[in-house]
Amino acid sequence: MSGLVDFLKELCEPLGDVRFRRMFGGWGLFTGEAMFGLVAGDTLYFKADAETAPLFDEEDLGPFTYQRADRGAVLTSYRRAPERVFDDPDEFRLWARRAMEAAARRATDKPARPKRGKKRSPAAD
């Protein structure tokens, strides 16, 4: 586990039930089923939406992007966290809670995905 992830776990303790999951060579930060943060390399990104994106824009905090062979660069809704969140636990909690709220809004906006698993035949009922 990276030193950054260990440090973030400490910062997240006052936020309640925050889980960290390995994802695509990085880490996802979750509350419930909603992902509100992403660690890629040594960079923390927080979930943003229409309500919070202007706060990131004001500070020129760009989005997390990745490359796809079929589409090129893909922009995500995760934005780089301000550097000061690492020096000020109150500032970290403020930005993390905004990201949690954005993730919760997103979770209520998107339709439920069907559960993966074995399909049942109608005859099994």
Per-residue pLDDT of the chain (125 residues; tens, 9 = 90+): 579 999 999 999 999 999 999 988 899 999 999 999 999 989 999 999 999 999 999 999 999 988 888 988 888 999 999 999 999 999 999 999 999 999 999 877 655 555 555 555 455 54
Q: Which two tokens stand for residue 69?
A: 């062979």
Quote the pTM value.
0.82
Domain coordinates in residue numbering, the chain:
3-112
Look up the CATH architecture of domain 3-112: 2-Layer Sandwich (3.30)
**Surface-to-core class of residue 73, CB atoms within 10 Å of its CB (0-12 exposed, 13-18 middle, 19+ buried):** exposed
